[in-house]
C-alpha cells in the first residue's frame, strides 16, 4: 500500500503565501508554555467562559458582534459579547438559585439557537460540567447518556421533552431542573420556561466560578464497539488547544467571518462551533436550518464568510448537485476551507480547488483528543487524501505494539496504529466511571487511537481505516477508505461504502455499496464500468469483487457511513440491535 494521493491527484501548492509555513508554526508554538502563561495571567484559575466572553468585555470589546443567528425563517439576530455575557450570567444564576452544586452535569438537547450559548457559557460560569446531546437522538440514546452522566439539569424544548424525556423522567430522581426553551403557558409538570427564568434571574456581572485547568468542563459521548456510549471527560485547560488550533490550523483571526456547520450535539460543534471562534474573537454564523445547498451558498455569499469549516458528507452532497449551483454565487471572500468528521476523499479536495479556487484542508481528531491533532495548513502544500501533519505541540507516530510495549514505525508508507504522545491539554482525562476502558487507550506513554494510518517520506499522515474495519484478503490489508476514494473518482459515483465479506479461500473479499449521481441509473453495464475502473486503479487483489447499488447509504448520527451496518445487512444479522456494529460517532 503506497502513501500517495489516491488516484495520483497532483499536489496543490499552498494557497496563502502570507500564512506561516509548517516548520515556523512548529517552532513558535508550545502548548504547555501557552497554558502556563495563561494561568500566570489568571492567577492559577482557568474557565472557558471567561476566555470566551468575559475577558472580551473587560478588554473593551463587549460591543463587538460575536454571533449572527440565522433562524430557519425570519430576520437575523445579532449577539455581542456583552449580550452573551449577560445571558450566561443569568443562566448561571438560575443554576445557583436551584442549588445545583459545583461540578454537576448540565445536559442540553437543543438545536442551533441562542439558548444553547446561554446554557453552555452559564454552565461553566457556575462551575458545572456541560454535556451536549444530538437533537436527533431518540428517547433511548438520550436516557442512556443522561443516566451515565448523572444528569442534574436538562435544557431542551417542550417538543423534545414530551417526545424523548417525559415518559422516563421519574426514573431519574437526580434530574432536579428541566428548563424548556421556547416554552409556552401550558408546560409539563416539573419544568420551567427558560426565557422567563432568564428574565427573572438577574446575576449579571457575578463572579465566575474559580475553576482550575484540571476541573472538568465538558462531557462528550462517543459510541463504542460494545454499544455502551463512552463519556469522555475534558477539562478547562482544553481551551488552550481550541485557541491555538483556531489560529494555526483554521487560520482564524478577529477580522474573519467564520462558519462551522457542525451540529452542536457533537464535539466539533462545541469545540469549533462555539469555543474556538469565541475565544478567537472572530464573529461566527449560526444557521438554525438543516442542510440546503442553495441556502448554504447564499449564506456564504451574503454574510461574506471567510473561513468555512464543514464535513465531508456535506461536501459530497454539494458535489452531487453539480458545480453550476456554486458558480451562481460570488464566493470570492472565502479564503480558507476546512473539513472534518471522516476522511475527505481526494476527489472532493480537487473539486473544491476547481469550484472555489481553494482546496478543502482536511484535518483529523477524535472526541477523545478534544481538538484538532493532524491537519493541512494554509501555509502548507496539500496532498489530496492526506490527513496532513501534526499540529504544533503534538507528537504523532505510526506504531506497532505488543502488550504494553509501543514501538514507532520509522519506515515510510508502512501501515500501523496511529498514536499520540500523551499529555496535551485537550486530551480527555478519562471515560466517566470506566477506569479499565480508559487504561486500554494508553500504553508506554502513548494514546492509542484505534485508527490505522501511515506516514510518507515527507511527513504527511494518511488514514487507512479503523483497526476493526480493515479488510484482510489473501494476505493483503485493505483500507476501506482507499477503495472508496478510488470508486468516487468514477463520474457516476456519488458515494461509496466498502466492507469485507467472509470467503473460504481469501479470508475476506471486498464488496462495495454505491449510490449514483443524478443522471446515472443502476445497471449491469454501469456496474461493469465501475468495477473496471476500480481494477485498473487498484489492481484485482484490492478492487471490489462485487458492487451493489443503493439509493442511500446508512450513516451514524454524525454522518459517517456505517460500514458495520452494511455488513450486518449483507450477512443477514438482526438489525434490531446494531449497536455492536457501529463505530465511534
Q: Which residues contact 471 (CB under 8 A, 6 or more apart)?
A: 477, 478, 479, 480, 498, 499, 500, 508, 510
Q: Do domains 6-30+232-466 and 79-211 have the same CATH topology?
A: yes
Question: For the segment 372-408, what is each residue's pLDDT rounded down to a tens digit?
Answer: 999 999 999 999 999 999 999 999 999 998 888 999 9
**φ/ψ of residue 283, rounded to 5:** -60, 140
| Closest residue by Cα to residue 91 from 210, 215, 208, 214 | 208
How does pLDDT run along the chain (585 residues), one tens digit per residue? 333 444 467 888 887 778 888 999 899 999 999 999 999 999 999 999 999 999 999 999 999 999 999 999 999 999 999 999 999 999 999 999 999 999 999 999 999 999 999 999 999 999 999 999 988 788 888 888 999 999 999 999 999 999 999 999 999 999 999 999 987 778 999 999 999 999 999 888 899 999 999 999 999 998 644 457 899 999 999 999 999 999 999 999 999 999 999 999 889 999 999 999 999 999 999 999 989 999 999 999 999 999 999 988 889 889 988 898 998 999 999 999 999 887 888 989 999 999 999 999 999 999 999 999 999 999 999 999 999 999 999 999 999 988 889 999 999 999 999 999 999 999 999 999 999 999 999 999 999 999 999 999 999 999 887 776 778 776 566 778 778 888 988 999 999 999 989 877 677 889 999 999 999 999 999 999 999 998 888 777 788 999 999 998 987 766 678 887 888 888 876 544 333 232 232
**φ/ψ of residue 365, rounded to 5:** -170, 175
What confidence score (pLDDT) does residue 557 get?
A: 60
Domain ranges of the chain: 6-30+232-466, 79-211, 471-581
* CB 489 within 8 Å of CB 7: yes
Question: For the segment 401-448, what is each residue's pLDDT rounded down to a tens digit?
Answer: 888 899 999 999 999 999 999 999 999 999 999 999 999 999 999 999
Q: In what order do the strands lie in the sheet with 507-516?
A: 493-503, 507-516, 546-549
Q: Regarding the domain delimited by 471-581, which CATH topology (the fold level of the hierarchy) does it fall under?
A: GMP Synthetase; Chain A, domain 3 (3.30.300)
Q: Regarding the domain delimited by 6-30+232-466, which CATH topology (the fold level of the hierarchy) does it fall under?
A: Rossmann fold (3.40.50)
Q: Partners of 39 in the beta sheet? A: none
Q: Regarding the domain delimited by 79-211, which CATH topology (the fold level of the hierarchy) does it fall under?
A: Rossmann fold (3.40.50)
pTM of the entire predicted model = 0.84
CA–CA distances in Å: residue 353 to residues 1, 16, 250, 303: 26, 13, 17, 21
What confidence score (pLDDT) does residue 237 get?
A: 98
What confidence score (pLDDT) does residue 574 get?
A: 56
> What's the grid cell of residue 543?
478492487
Amino acid at each position: 500500500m503506497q502513501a500517495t494521493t489516491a488516484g495520483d491527484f497532483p499536489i496543490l501548492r499552498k494557497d496563502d503565501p502570507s500564512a506561516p509555513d509548517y516548520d515556523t508554526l512548529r517552532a513558535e508554538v508550545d502548548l504547555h508554555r501557552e497554558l502556563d502563561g495563561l494561568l500566570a495571567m489568571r492567577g492559577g484559575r482557568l474557565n472557558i467562559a471567561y476566555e470566551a466572553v468575559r475577558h472580551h468585555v473587560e478588554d473593551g470589546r463587549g460591543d463587538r458582534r460575536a454571533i449572527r443567528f440565522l433562524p430557519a425563517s425570519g430576520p437575523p439576530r445579532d449577539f455581542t459579547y456583552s449580550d452573551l455575557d449577560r445571558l450566561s450570567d443569568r443562566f448561571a444564576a438560575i443554576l445557583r438559585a436551584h442549588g445545583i452544586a459545583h461540578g454537576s452535569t448540565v445536559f442540553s438537547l437543543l438545536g442551533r439557537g441562542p439558548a444553547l450559548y446561554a446554557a453552555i457559557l452559564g454552565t461553566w460560569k457556575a462551575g458545572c460540567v456541560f454535556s451536549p446531546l444530538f437533537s436527533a437522538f431518540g428517547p433511548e440514546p438520550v436516557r442512556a447518556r443522561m443516566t451515565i452522566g448523572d444528569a442534574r439539569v436538562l435544557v431542551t424544548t417542550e417538543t423534545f421533552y414530551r417526545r424523548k424525556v417525559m415518559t422516563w423522567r421519574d426514573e431519574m430522581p437526580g434530574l432536579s431542573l428541566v428548563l424548556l426553551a421556547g416554552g409556552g403557558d401550558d408546560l409539563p409538570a416539573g419544568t420551567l420556561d427558560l426565557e422567563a427564568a432568564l428574565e427573572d434571574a438577574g446575576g449579571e456581572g457575578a463572579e465566575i466560578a474559580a475553576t482550575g485547568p484540571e476541573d472538568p468542563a465538558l462531557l462528550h459521548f462517543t459510541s463504542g464497539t460494545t454499544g455502551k456510549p463512552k463519556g469522555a471527560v475534558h477539562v478547562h485547560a482544553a481551551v488552550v488547544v481550541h485557541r491555538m488550533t483556531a489560529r494555526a490550523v483554521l487560520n482564524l483571526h478577529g477580522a474573519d467571518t467564520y462558519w462551522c456547520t457542525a451540529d452542536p450535539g457533537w464535539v466539533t460543534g462545541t469545540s469549533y462551533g462555539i469555543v474556538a471562534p469565541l475565544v478567537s474573537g472572530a464573529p461566527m454564523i449560526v444557521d438554525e436550518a438543516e442542510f440546503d445547498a442553495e441556502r448554504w451558498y447564499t449564506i456564504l455569499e451574503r454574510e461574506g464568510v471567510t473561513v468555512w469549516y464543514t464535513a465531508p458528507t456535506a461536501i459530497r452532497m454539494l458535489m452531487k448537485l453539480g458545480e453550476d449551483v456554486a458558480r451562481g454565487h460570488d464566493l470570492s471572500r472565502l479564503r480558507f476551507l476546512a473539513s472534518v468528521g471522516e476522511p475527505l476523499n481526494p476527489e472532493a479536495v480537487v473539486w473544491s480547488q476547481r469550484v472555489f479556487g481553494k482546496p478543502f484542508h482536511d484535518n483529523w481528531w477524535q472526541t477523545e483528543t478534544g481538538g484538532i491533532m493532524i491537519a493541512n495548513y494554509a501555509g502548507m502544500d496539500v496532498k489530496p487524501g492526506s490527513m496532513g501533519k501534526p499540529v504544533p505541540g503534538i507528537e504523532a507516530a505510526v506504531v506497532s505494539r505488543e502488550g504494553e510495549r509501543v514501538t514507532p514505525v520509522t519506515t515510510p508508507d508502512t501501515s500501523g496504529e496511529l498514536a499520540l504522545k500523551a499529555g496535551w491539554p485537550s486530551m480527555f482525562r478519562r471515560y466517566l466511571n470506566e477506569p479499565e476502558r480508559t487504561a486500554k487507550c494508553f500504553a508506554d506513554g502513548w494514546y492509542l487511537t484505534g485508527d490505522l494510518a501511515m506516514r510518507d517520506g515527507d511527513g504527511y499522515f494518511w488514514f487507512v481505516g479503523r483497526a476493526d474495519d480493515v479488510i484482510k484478503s489473501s494476505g493483503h490489508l485493505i483500507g476501506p477508505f482507499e477503495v472508496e476514494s478510488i470508486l468516487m473518482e468514477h463520474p457516476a459515483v456519488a458515494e461509496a461504502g466498502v466492507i469485507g465479506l467472509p470467503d473460504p479461500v481469501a479470508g475476506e473479499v471486498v464488496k462495495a455499496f454505491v449510490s449514483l449521481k443524478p443522471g446515472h441509473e443502476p445497471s449491469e453495464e454501469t456496474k461493469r464500468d465501475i468495477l473496471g475502473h476500480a481494477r485498473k486503479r487498484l489492481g484485482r487483489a484490492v478492487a471490489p469483487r462485487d458492487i451493489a447499488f443503493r439509493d442511500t447509504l446508512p450513516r451514524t448520527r454524525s454522518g459517517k457511513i456505517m460500514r458495520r451496518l452494511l455488513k450486518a445487512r449483507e450477512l443477514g444479522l438482526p438489525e434490531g440491535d446494531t449497536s455492536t456494529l457501529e463505530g465511534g460517532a
